[in-house]
């Protein structure tokens, strides 16, 4: 029996699989004494290129991708690709580019070869994918070449692609490219006459119920139906999926226009949501019957949307559908899907079984990531005996359980409030040579905190430190939040101070902010100011708002003076800080305190025009 089938048996959902008797074990890992799934090596064919071996492959996308991944781009590889006469459809090129998205140079070479030597006609989606691949400091020359080609050929950058690329530029701090790209996009919109027509068509469709009158109005608009135009209208109608489908059907009836893969994929992206899911599956079946395939980029986008919307049944159904075609999702896509299923409150193990079964049925052997995905679902669902058997199957398949695997087990036990057993798992890890890392300890501590067992969480924390495991801001945040949830504010404050001074931890800014707010609610200004000083020392941005509100309502002039000293890294804070406090005092009607504070301010503050104006206005009032 293959490892995947052993897993299906563990889930007790196998249909035609060989019967497997699962050992029912206690939750502790060392007490698993028997589980022996039969392993069967699966033969797979791989193709590699070298100077002594001629490579042959069919038009199957997997064969093309294997060749591309195994070799550097070269004239020899180009010749070999040319001699093989591959059939480069839209789906095939998108599939190959997706596999090459971490290698901009090779993706660039392949795309140019496909367009210039093989007659591939690029589309708006394929150009958009190339742009996303080339957003890299080392490939900006090619990025701008692609942009110019798009414009010359009448293609248009949609707003979604524009925002995605702009966000990447900003993240990489490529400020000059942000400005240049915005200028290019704005000019493209302004110069593209089609843009107005697209928006007018979308307005007509979105503002009216579909009827013969709408069809007549569209027919009278002089529309030239191209793939680019149809795609853009569908994107404009993305918030009106049923109306987008009506436009799609109308386009299909127009003389001289035939659906193709690109248009089918465009409408699928629009329909892949909760309020049009029936239409989605209907059009997908129509697409299949017409001999077209969902491209891998479309699959990933829709699958992520299903998972985000908790439409797990549809996500698994789509996974099964695409895995039956030639453009199969990656192992990573499978793992992400399993992780999404396991993250629900009560994971549906039938969905886990279906994903694992389809993964194996398409010729794959289970990877560590897939094992972990199944194991995560089992532990989250409280199926610990089955999870133990999966860990044994992993070992038999050559994958030693690691911190990821054990952390999932600890998380599941904590979720089930089996905290003592969760603690014992860490001892078992060490016995098997796997040292618990910071993440594993944090999960254990979080489990105790969630069960309101704060003191035991602290004992785990102390043990973590005794083991010389790195304590970080995450675990500190978990403990601080737990203390605050039980209104143990003094304990939270003391813990943070100790960890900063003795363990040299730099807490998250959010941790500081929450604790400051809670301290001020309890009128513990001195402690809150101490935290403000620590934030300043650790180069966190200042957080003056709650102090100003507190001082203006309850504080004294001396409190305000102490706040100013704690706030600034210089001798005095900015004028705006003083102005903010004065305004708050006036708002609370505490004019005398504001005047007393003014007398204690440095000369340049007392004479500042805005301060003088504020006190002049207050005097006149």
- Residue with token string 């204690």: 600
pLDDT confidence bin for 196, thresholds 50/70/90: confident
State phi, psi for 517 to the nearest 5 degrees.
Answer: -60, -45
The tokens for 391 are 């860990």
Q: Tell me if 347 sits within 8 A of 81, measured CB to CB.
A: no
DSSP state for residue 29 in the 8-state scheme: G
Gap between the terminal Cα atoms of the chain: 88
Q: Which residues contact 345 (CB under 8 A, 6 or more apart)?
A: none
pLDDT tens-place string over residues 83-109: 777 778 899 999 999 999 999 999 999
Q: Cα separations (Å) of 63 from 67, 117, 293, 454?
A: 6, 19, 17, 56
pTM, two decimals, is 0.71
Per-residue pLDDT averaged across 411-439, rounded? Answer: 93
13: confidence class by pLDDT, cuts 50, 70, 90? very low
Instruction: Please state the rounded mean pLDDT for residues 353-371.
Output: 88
Mean pLDDT of 247-257: 90
Higher pLDDT, residue 613 or 32: 613
d(C-alpha 529, C-alpha 562), whole Å: 8
Which pair of structure tokens corresponds to residue 407?
């952390």
Q: What are the structure tokens assigned to 392, written together?
A: 């044994």
Q: Quote the Cα angle for 527-531-537, to 5°.
A: 145
By C-alpha distance, which of 290, 197, 274, 286 is closest to 242? 274
The pLDDT assigned to 570 comes to 67
**Of 20-24, 326-330, 345-349, 447-451, minimum mean pLDDT range:** 20-24
Nearest to 543 by CA among 558, 557, 528: 528
Give per-residue pLDDT as tens, 512-533. 999 999 999 999 999 999 999 9
Show the 3-state SS of 294-305: CCHHHHHHHHHH
> Which residues are registered as beta bridge partners of 50?
53
Residue 495 scores a pLDDT above 50: yes
Ranked by mean pLDDT, which of 180-189, 300-309, 576-585, 596-605 comes out on top? 300-309
Look up tokens 């070799």; give the residue.
Answer: 71
- The string of DSSP letters for 262-299 reads HHHHHHHHHH-SGGGHHHHHHHHHHHHHTT----HHHH
Write down the pLDDT at residue 619. 55
Reply yes or no on whether the pLDDT at 400 is more than 80.
yes
What is the pLDDT at residue 60?
A: 63
3-class SS of residue 170: helix
Over range 288-307, report the average pLDDT.
95
User: What tokens does 293 get?
Assistant: 């395939």
Cα 252–chain centre separation: 36
Q: To the nearest whole number, what is the mean pLDDT of the chain?
A: 84
* pLDDT tens for each residue of 569-602: 666 788 888 899 999 998 889 998 888 988 888 8
CA distance 568 to 544: 10
CA 361: distance to chain centroid?
Answer: 28
Alpha-carbon dihedral sign for residues 466, 467, 468, 472? negative
- The CA dihedral of 194, 196, 202, 208, to the nearest 10 degrees, is -140
Of 431, 440, 433, 455, the C-alpha closest to 408 is 440
Give tens-digit pLDDT for 233-243.
Answer: 999 999 999 99
Burial class (CB in 10 A: 0-12, 13-18, 19+), 347: buried
Instruction: Give, as one character, the DSSP assignment of residue 220.
Output: T
pLDDT(112) > 60? yes
The pair of structure tokens assigned to 137 is 């400091």
Q: What is the pLDDT of residue 406?
A: 93
Give dist(CA 42, CA 27) in Å, integer: 32
């Amino acid at each position: 029996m293959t490892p995947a089938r052993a897993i299906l048996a563990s889930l007790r959902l196998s249909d035609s699989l060989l019967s497997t008797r699962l050992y029912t074990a206690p939750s502790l890992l060392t007490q698993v004494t028997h589980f022996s799934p039969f392993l069967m090596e699966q033969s797979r064919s791989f193709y590699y290129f070298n100077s002594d071996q001629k490579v042959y492959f069919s038009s199957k996308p997997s064969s093309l991708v294997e060749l591309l991944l195994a070799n550097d781009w070269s004239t020899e590889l180009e010749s070999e690709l040319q001699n093989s006469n591959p059939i480069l459809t839209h789906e095939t090129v998108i599939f190959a580019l997706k596999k090459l998205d971490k290698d901009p140079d090779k993706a660039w070479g392949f795309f140019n070869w496909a367009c210039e030597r093989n007659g591939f006609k690029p589309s708006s989606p394929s150009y958009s994918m190339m742009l996303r691949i080339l957003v890299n400091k080392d490939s900006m020359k090619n990025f701008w070449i692609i942009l110019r080609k798009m414009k010359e050929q009448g293609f248009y950058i949609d707003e979604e692609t524009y925002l995605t690329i702009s966000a990447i530029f900003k993240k990489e701090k490529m400020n000059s490219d942000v400005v240049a790209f915005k200028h290019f996009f704005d000019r493209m919109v302004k110069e593209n006459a089609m843009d107005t027509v697209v928006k007018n068509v979308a307005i007509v469709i979105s503002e009216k119920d579909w009827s013969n009158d709408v069809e007549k109005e569209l027919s009278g608009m002089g529309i030239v139906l191209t793939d680019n135009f149809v795609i853009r209208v569908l994107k404009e109608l993305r918030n009106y999926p049923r109306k987008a489908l009506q436009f799609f059907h109308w386009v299909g009836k127009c003389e001289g226009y035939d659906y193709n893969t690109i248009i089918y994929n465009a409408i699928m992206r629009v329909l892949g949501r909760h309020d049009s899911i029936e239409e989605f599956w209907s059009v997908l079946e129509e697409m299949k019957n017409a001999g077209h395939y969902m491209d891998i980029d479309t699959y990933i986008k829709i699958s992520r949307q299903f998972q985000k919307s908790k439409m797990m049944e549809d996500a698994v159904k789509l996974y099964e559908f695409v895995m039956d075609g030639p453009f199969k999702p990656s192992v990573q896509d499978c793992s992400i899907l399993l992780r999404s299923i396991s993250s629900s409150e009560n994971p549906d193990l039938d969905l886990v079984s279906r994903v694992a079964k389809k993964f194996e049925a398409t010729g794959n052997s289970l990877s560590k990531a897939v094992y972990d995905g199944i194991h995560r679902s089992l532990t989250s669902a409280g199926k610990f005996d089955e999870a133990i058997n999966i860990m044994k199957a992993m070992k038999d398949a050559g994958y030693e359980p690691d911190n990821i695997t054990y952390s999932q087990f600890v998380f599941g036990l904590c979720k089930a409030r089996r905290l003592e057993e969760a603690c014992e798992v860490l001892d078992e890890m060490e016995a098997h040579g796997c040292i618990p890392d910071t993440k594993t300890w944090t999960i254990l501590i979080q489990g105790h905190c969630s069960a309101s067992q704060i003191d035991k969480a602290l004992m785990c924390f102390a043990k973590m430190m005794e083991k010389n495991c790195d304590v970080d801001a995450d675990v500190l945040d978990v403990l601080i939040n737990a203390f605050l949830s039980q209104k143990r504010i003094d304990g939270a404050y003391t813990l943070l101070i100790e960890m900063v001074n003795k363990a040299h931890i730099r807490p998250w800014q959010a941790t500081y902010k929450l604790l400051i707010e809670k301290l001020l609610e309890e009128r513990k200004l001195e402690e809150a100011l101490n935290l403000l000083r620590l934030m300043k020392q650790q180069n966190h941005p200042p957080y003056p708002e709650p102090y100003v509100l507190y001082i203006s309502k309850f504080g004294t002039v001396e409190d305000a003076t102490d706040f100013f000293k704690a706030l600034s890294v210089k001798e005095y804070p900015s004028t705006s800080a003083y102005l903010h406090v004065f305004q708050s005092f006036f708002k609370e009607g505490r004019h005398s305190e504001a005047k007393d504070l003014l007398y204690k301010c440095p000369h340049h503050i007392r004479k500042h025009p805005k301060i003088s104006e504020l006190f002049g206005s207050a005097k006149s009032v």
